[in-house]
């Protein structure tokens, strides 16, 4: 089977998009490959098609290990592949180990072609051991910029990929990202152990996308004006959750919507169910406008977004380009509008730099106060995982909230802890009463039936807490059993989590590479973002493309700067 035959047979397309064929050819040649493709460029085809071709030729190499940070994205891609008759599995946080084993067994013994996992899953020694036996012919690393300390979204868990390469030394890697500066490109290849440099890139030029910076001190009114002038689906990005909710409410009131959901909000503080429902309603066109924080990001697959509005300046041009690029994936005219209040936005960015990199002494103070709050003694705690209630921590220990979040992320990058914001903990159950004693408790029929189901479905439920996927539908019954001391039940919750990756240290050390260097780089990225918004001499797209290393781009002719320049020329 040729790549084009696989494309047509499984995905229904007659030909590849630009650069896809070149990437697939490189992968089939067994070369480590870094592919840079703009948002919506069809990255998944670049590892799905060669995997299917390899699997036809060599069943012993039929499986692709796909490393991606979003559980929702894993689930969507697995569902989409299965709908096309392609077998795929995913392993992620919240699955019982029995279910993980079953997924890995499927990939080992069954006709499976794709195994999705998060980078955090690679920390498990048991999981890494199982990888040795799997018929893996390709490793695909999505959002590969996350592995680079010079990227805008560095995640220490991505460094675990190097251990996988050591386990599977002859398996090529395909790294994919939509945004990377030249420095980040070099770092990705080094961190992933590329045998030779091999970068394939598609120009970040978007012919159909018009970039606009609108200077205003009345941003909400500008949002309403833009929505009234540009029909179709829209995203409005804001910096914080409270503002997302307030602006969505204001937009609905402004347009006097009474019989339909015109605008909704989205942020990481919502449950997975709420986020999925709101994204689905927007994707299907039931909701026209979504006001969101940057939690509304990777995995969005909606081609007909006509306008993306940034109410607040992002921290860097990488995220701005990626978020703005969610407009016009269908190739039709679309707009990326950045609202800019010079005095206010400059002050906010200056404060953001201070909040993101608080003084070293403060970071050390947060470390010890967090350990005290969690009751972790010196020289202990390694491997323990805690649910961390940030409001309680900051209130009890008298710590400022925003800087404390930043300090915990710095400590994560330094390797002392692993901190996750807004981690959704799945419901867990442990049975405390032996089976032979249950008759003494006079259980109701529903309680007895549920207990029997739990004992049959979860083999380790007597010895440890087990993730129970059906817990939400049995919540009331589980509560009643817990109140009688028959089980321990931890319901689903949203909060932060902290894992001890080292014993508690008496002193911590933040090297210049971790602290001062990253701080300076963060400030330089803020400055580049500010210069993009502030300048009115050069084509917006030229400025963006130059930032990503495309220094020979021509003026787009339709951004706000190009239009103003043309207007001045014709007016003279």
- pLDDT tens digit string along 375-418? 999 999 988 888 888 889 999 999 999 999 999 999 988 889 98
Cα–Cα dist 299/77, whole Å: 9
pLDDT at 423: 61
Lowest average pLDDT, out of 6-15, 188-197, 425-434, goes to 425-434
Cα–Cα dist 472/477, whole Å: 10
Cα–Cα dist 530/523, whole Å: 10
pLDDT at 260: 57
Cα–Cα dist 397/368, whole Å: 10
Higher pLDDT, 571 or 398: 398
Which residues are within 8 A (CB) of 490 and not within 5 positions of it... i.e. 6 or more apart? 425, 427, 428, 429, 465
pLDDT at 127: 87
- The pLDDT confidence band at residue 424, using thresholds 50, 70 and 90, is low
Lowest average pLDDT, out of 132-136, 258-262, 356-360, goes to 258-262
- SS3 at position 422: strand
pTM recorded for the entire structure: 0.79
pLDDT at 411: 93
The helices-and-strands tally (H runs, E runs) of the chain is: 21, 19
Alpha carbon of 312 to those of 229, 238, 321: distances in Å? 20, 6, 14
Cα–Cα dist 565/571, whole Å: 10
Q: H or E stretch including 569? A: helix 560-571
pLDDT at 422: 65
pLDDT at 150: 77
β-strand pairing of 263-266 with 289-292: parallel
Asked if residue 6 has pLDDT above 90, the reply is yes
Q: What is the mean pLDDT of the chain?
A: 90
The pLDDT tens digits for 313-346 are 999 999 999 899 999 999 999 999 999 999 999 9
- 512, two tokens: 């210049």
Asked if residue 33 has pLDDT above 60, the reply is yes
Lowest average pLDDT, out of 105-114, 447-456, 489-498, goes to 489-498
| Distance from chain centroid for Cα 332 | 27
Cα–Cα dist 349/342, whole Å: 11
The pLDDT of 167-171, averaged and rounded, is: 93
Asked if residue 298 has pLDDT above 70, the reply is no
Cα–Cα dist 341/447, whole Å: 60
β-strand pairing of 466-467 with 428-431: antiparallel
Asked if residue 70 has pLDDT above 70, the reply is yes
Asked if residue 452 has pLDDT above 60, the reply is yes
Give percent above pLDDT 90 in the chain: 65
The pLDDT of 184-210, averaged and rounded, is: 93
The pLDDT tens digits for 74-124 are 888 898 899 999 999 999 766 767 778 889 999 999 999 999 998 888 888
Asked if residue 238 has pLDDT above 90, the reply is yes
- 56, two tokens: 């036809």
- The pLDDT confidence band at residue 561, using thresholds 50, 70 and 90, is very high
Residue 437, burial from CB neighbour count under 10 angstroms (0-12, 13-18, 19+): exposed
Neighbour order of strands in the sheet with 199-201: 88-91, 114-117, 63-67, 136-141, 173-177, 33-36, 199-201
Which of 204-213, 274-283, 417-426 shows the highest mean pLDDT?
204-213
The length of the chain, given as a count of residues: 572
- The pLDDT confidence band at residue 154, using thresholds 50, 70 and 90, is confident
């Amino acid at each position: 089977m040729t790549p084009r035959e696989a494309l047509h047979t499984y995905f229904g397309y007659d030909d590849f998009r630009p650069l896809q064929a070149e990437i697939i050819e490189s992968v089939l040649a067994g070369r480590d490959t870094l592919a840079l493709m703009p948002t919506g460029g069809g990255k998944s085809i670049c590892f799905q098609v060669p995997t299917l071709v390899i699997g036809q030729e060599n069943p012993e190499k039929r499986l692709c290990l796909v490393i991606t940070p979003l559980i929702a994205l894993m689930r969507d891609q697995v569902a989409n592949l299965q709908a096309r008759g392609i077998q795929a599995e995913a392993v992620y946080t919240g699955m019982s180990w029995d279910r993980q084993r079953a997924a890995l067994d499927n990939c080992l013994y069954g006709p499976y072609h794709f195994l999705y996992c998060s980078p955090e899953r690679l920390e498990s020694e048991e999981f890494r051991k199982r990888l040795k036996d799997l018929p893996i012919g390709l490793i695909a690393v999505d959002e590969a910029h996350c592995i680079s300390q010079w990227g805008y979204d560095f995640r220490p868990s991505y460094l675990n990929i190097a251990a996988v390469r050591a386990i599977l030394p002859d398996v090529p890697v395909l790294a994919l990202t939509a945004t990377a500066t030249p420095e980040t490109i070099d770092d990705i290849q080094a961190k992933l152990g590329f045998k030779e440099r091999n970068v394939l890139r598609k120009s970040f030029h978007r012919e159909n996308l018009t970039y606009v910076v609108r200077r205003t001190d009345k941003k909400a009114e500008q949002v309403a004006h833009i929505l009234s002038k540009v029909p179709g689906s829209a995203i409005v990005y804001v910096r914080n959750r409270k503002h997302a909710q307030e602006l969505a409410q204001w937009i609905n009131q402004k347009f006097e919507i009474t019989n339909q959901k015109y605008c909704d909000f989205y942020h990481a503080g919502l449950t997975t169910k709420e986020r999925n429902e709101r994204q689905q309603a927007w994707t299907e066109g039931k909701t026209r406008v979504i006001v969101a924080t940057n939690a509304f990001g990777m995995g969005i697959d909606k081609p007909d977004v006509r306008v993306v509005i940034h109410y607040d300046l992002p921290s860097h041009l990488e995220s701005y380009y990626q978020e703005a690029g969610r407009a016009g994936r269908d190739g039709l005219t679309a707009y990326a509008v950045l609202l800019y209040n010079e005095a206010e936005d400059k002050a906010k960015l200056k404060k953001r730099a201070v909040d993101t990199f608080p003084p070293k002494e403060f970071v050390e103070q947060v470390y010890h106060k967090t350990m005290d709050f969690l009751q972790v003694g010196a020289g202990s705690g390694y491997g323990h995982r805690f649910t961390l209630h940030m409001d309680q921590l900051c209130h009890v220990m008298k710590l400022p909230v925003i800087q404390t979040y930043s300090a915990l992320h710095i400590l994560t990058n330094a390797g002392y802890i692993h901190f996750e914001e807004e981690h959704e903990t799945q419901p867990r159950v442990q049975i405390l009463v032996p089976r032979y004693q249950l008759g003494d408790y006079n259980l109701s029929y529903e309680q007895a039936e549920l207990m029997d189901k739990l004992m049959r479905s979860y083999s380790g439920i007597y010895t440890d807490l087990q993730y129970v996927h059906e817990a939400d539908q049995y919540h009331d019954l589980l509560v009643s059993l817990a109140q009688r001391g028959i089980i321990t039940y931890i319901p689903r919750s949203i909060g932060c989590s902290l894992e001890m990756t080292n014993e508690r240290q008496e002193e911590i050390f933040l090297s210049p590479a971790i602290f001062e260097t990253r701080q300076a780089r963060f400030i330089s990225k803020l400055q580049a973002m500010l210069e993009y918004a502030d300048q009115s001499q050069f084509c917006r797209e030229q400025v963006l493309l130059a930032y990503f290393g495309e220094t020979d781009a021509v003026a787009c002719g339709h951004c706000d700067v190009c239009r103003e320049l043309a207007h001045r020329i014709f007016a003279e």
